[in-house]
Amino acid sequence: MSGMRRIHVFVTLIWGAALAASLAVGSAQAAVQAFHFSYSTISGGPLTSSGAGTLVATPEGGGSYLVTGATGTIDGYPLALIAPGGFALNDNLLFPTSGCASGVPVADLDSCGLSFVVNSADYNLYYDPGPAYGGVLPAPSYAVCIGTPCLSGPPNSTAVNFSLSAVPEPYAWTLLAVGFAALGLGRRRVRSKRFEVAD
């Protein structure tokens, strides 16, 4: 077998193994997704608070994810996730297709929200749909309430800037690295072929 043929076979085997590994890892990882989150209160509100961290969630169907774990800090203290129903009617859902049993249009969180214990105080991050849909804040926005039920509104709740982004899964990075390696070997093969023709 010529050297070029061996390289071609080697690249094909590596590509096949990487594809098989990514499919196997991908199917196992598909059940869990990580998200980075951050928030900070909008200036002029009755409360001041900010936080950031990572949420681990599992698909629930209908485009929603149930948060099952969390790490990070809020107001400089470590946070701990509160189980669904543990504070302020929280359901700990991300990306729901409808508000919690109300049909309210929502964004990354619903009106039941995501709850944490921070330095012995309960926090709930949620989406307040505004007065048109029974919300307590003057306009639709993400909000945080601290220590008291969120439905009571200001001064116990205040609007926040909230961001959420998915963390790329490890198999995606592995597949990308293998793809670049295969491209590099392919370019090397073409370059060595040019030198053989030139001789």
Domain boundaries, the chain: 33-166
Q: Which residue has the higher pLDDT, 116 or 97?
A: 116
Work out the pLDDT band at 89, boundaries 50, 70, 90: confident
What is the pLDDT at residue 55? Answer: 95
User: Which of 55, 14, 25 has the alpha carbon at shortest distance from 183?
Assistant: 14
Topology of domain 33-166, per CATH? Lipocalin (2.40.128)
**Mean pLDDT, residues 89-111 taken together:** 68
Residue 172 has pLDDT above 80, yes or no: no
What is the pLDDT at residue 134? Answer: 77
Query: Which residues fall within 8 angstroms of residue 55, CB to CB, at 6 or more apart?
Result: 34, 35, 36, 37, 67, 69, 70, 94, 114
Q: Which residue has the higher pLDDT, 20 or 117?
A: 117
Residue 53 has pLDDT above 60, yes or no: yes
Distance CA 54, CA 163 (A): 12
pLDDT digits (tens, 9 = 90+) for 33-47: 899 999 999 988 788
Give 172's Cβ-side CA count (13 Å radius). Answer: 7
Q: Where are the beta strands (DSSP E) in the chain?
A: 33-41, 50-61, 64-74, 77-81, 93-94, 114-118, 121-128, 141-146, 157-166
Distance CA 9, CA 141 (A): 57
What is the pLDDT at residue 170? Answer: 66
